[in-house]
């Protein structure tokens, strides 16, 4: 950048800051504005998560009896929401990138899912409650939209922390609405013999500590998950695809906590342990694969001795 360009940029920055009462005053206003964004988006995410997962808490107060559910119908009502939620993740993100106006896209989606939630509350049978499919279909727009909005306000080195704060919305909702194990945590805790109120309160502590962990743990751990939110449109779409694929566990998981397997739920825990083991194996294999690619690039660089391709010679996968 030339001296003239630097001077112009400095004067422009000074003029912009002067409009807000100086540089320090501008920083205070920016901080106040960003705090409002974080707070409001987190609250909206709490409401979004409650709408998706409140069936678990309702089960303790006669949800199945009121709708006359039998067999696996309760599990089906849980999973049907994600049948609508999953396929809409990627198209929703692509549509938002095309529109480019989260200020319109998100409120419209919220109004629609709020209406569907109200209509779901007046159902009286299993067939009527299957409208949760449309609830998931509409709510899929929020999380990609929230990440898109944050990526427009924060720099790359800031997005990890603030997306973690957004994610705390869903974690906190777990604590206060007693949601876990795909809405089966209240059912498991109820086997301890306490009242419904005590049961729901016993579900809260793990999620309060989890929220603290998300905020306080090392920054690079948060960035591993949220880095794609500030990348290219293709990278963002890929990130949404991965997020949608991960939700498949919610569809299957609804059926592994069968009440006939209680109160110990040994089979259910066995399935969870087995899937966690598979996940660990996949991660280790992926790390081995990336390490092998790094060694291959180093060997090719040593053999060619070509230092012209600076980007290629300096690139390595982060392990």
CA separation for the pair 16, 10 (Å, rounded): 10
Q: How far is CA 4 from CA 8, 17, 23, in A?
A: 6, 20, 22
Based on the fold, state whether residues 180 and 244 are members of the same structural domain: yes
Based on the fold, state whether residues 157 and 304 are members of the same structural domain: no
- Cβ contacts of residue 221 below 8 Å, gap of 6+? none
User: What's the domain range around 112?
Assistant: 40-264
Per-residue pLDDT, 230: 46
Q: Please name the residue that has the structure tokens 């869903």.
A: 170
Please give the residue that has the higher pLDDT: either 303 or 278: 278
Based on the fold, state whether residues 215 and 318 are members of the same structural domain: no
Structure tokens that stand for 78 in this block: 């849980």
CB 191 within 8 A of CB 263: yes
Q: At what angle do helices 156-177 and 142-151 cross, to 10 degrees?
A: 150
Based on the fold, state whether residues 259 and 296 are members of the same structural domain: no
- Cβ contacts of residue 125 below 8 Å, gap of 6+? 67, 68
Q: If pLDDT is split at 50, 70 and 90, which confidence band does 11 have?
A: very low
The count of structural domains within the chain is 2
Based on the fold, state whether residues 102 and 237 are members of the same structural domain: yes
- pTM (predicted TM-score): 0.65
Per residue in 71-106, is it b (16+ CB within 10 Å) or e — as a string? eebbbbbbbbbbbbbbebbbebbeebeeeeebeebb
pLDDT digits (tens, 9 = 90+) for 238-257: 666 777 777 787 788 778 87
Does the residue 208 lie in any domain? yes
Does the residue 150 lie in any domain? yes
Per-residue pLDDT, 284: 95
**C-alpha closest to that of 88 among 76, 96, 100:** 96
Based on the fold, state whether residues 283 and 162 are members of the same structural domain: no
Measure the CA dihedral 161/165/167/171, to 10°: 130
Does the residue 162 lie in any domain? yes
In the predicted structure, residue 315 carries a pLDDT above the cut 80? no
Q: Please name the residue that has the structure tokens 């777990």.
A: 174
CB 251 within 8 A of CB 79: yes
Based on the fold, state whether residues 158 and 217 are members of the same structural domain: yes
Angle at 112 (CA atoms; ends 110, 113), nearest 5 degrees: 65
Per-residue pLDDT, 33: 83
Based on the fold, state whether residues 259 and 199 are members of the same structural domain: yes
Per-residue pLDDT, 101: 80
Please give the residue that has the higher pLDDT: either 206 or 141: 141
pLDDT digits (tens, 9 = 90+) for 171-205: 665 555 544 444 445 555 555 565 656 655 666 66
Based on the fold, state whether residues 255 and 287 are members of the same structural domain: no
Does the residue 27 lie in any domain? no
Based on the fold, state whether residues 246 and 206 are members of the same structural domain: yes
Angle at 97 (CA atoms; ends 315, 145), nearest 5 degrees: 95
The last residue of one of the domains, among 264, 290, 311, is 264
Does the residue 91 lie in any domain? yes
Based on the fold, state whether residues 226 and 300 are members of the same structural domain: no
| Helix, strand and coil in the chain, % to nearest 5 | 80, 0, 20
Based on the fold, state whether residues 52 and 168 are members of the same structural domain: yes
pLDDT digits (tens, 9 = 90+) for 92-106: 878 887 887 888 888
Does the residue 31 lie in any domain? no
Does the residue 7 lie in any domain? no
Does the residue 21 lie in any domain? no
Sign for the CA dihedral angle at 26, 27, 32, 34 comes to positive
């Amino acid at each position: 950048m030339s001296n003239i360009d630097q001077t112009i940029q400095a004067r422009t920055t000074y003029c912009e800051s002067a409009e807000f009462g100086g540089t320090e005053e501008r920083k205070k206003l920016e901080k106040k504005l960003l705090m409002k964004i974080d707070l409001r988006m987190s609250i909206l995410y709490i409401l979004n998560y409650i709408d998706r997962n409140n069936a678990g808490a309702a089960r303790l107060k006669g949800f199945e009896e009121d709708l006359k559910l039998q067999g696996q119908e309760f599990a089906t009502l849980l999973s049907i929401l994600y049948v609508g939620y999953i396929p809409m993740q990627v198209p929703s993100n692509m549509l938002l990138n095309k529109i480019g106006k989260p200020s319109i896209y998100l409120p419209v989606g919220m109004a629609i899912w709020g209406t569907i939630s109200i209509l779901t509350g007046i159902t009286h049978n299993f067939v009527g409650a299957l409208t949760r499919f449309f609830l998931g279909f509409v709510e899929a727009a929020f999380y990609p939209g929230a990440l898109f909005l944050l990526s427009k306000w924060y720099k790359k080195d800031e997005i990890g922390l603030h997306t973690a704060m957004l994610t705390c919305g869903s974690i906190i909702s777990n604590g206060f609405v007693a949601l876990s194990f795909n809405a089966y945590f209240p059912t498991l805790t109820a086997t301890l013999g306490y009242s419904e109120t005590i049961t729901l309160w016993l579900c809260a502590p793990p999620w309060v500590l989890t929220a603290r962990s998300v905020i306080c743990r090392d920054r690079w751990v948060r960035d591993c998950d949220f880095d794609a939110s500030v990348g290219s449109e293709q990278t963002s779409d890929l990130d949404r695809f991965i997020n949608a694929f991960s939700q498949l566990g919610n569809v299957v998981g609804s059926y592994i906590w069968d009440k006939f397997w209680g109160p110990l739920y040994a089979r259910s825990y066995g399935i969870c342990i087995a899937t966690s083991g598979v996940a660990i194996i996949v991660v280790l294999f992926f790390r081995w694969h990336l390490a092998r690619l790094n060694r291959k690039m180093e060997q090719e660089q040593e053999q060619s001795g070509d230092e012209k391709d600076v980007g290629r010679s300096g690139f390595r996968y982060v392990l």
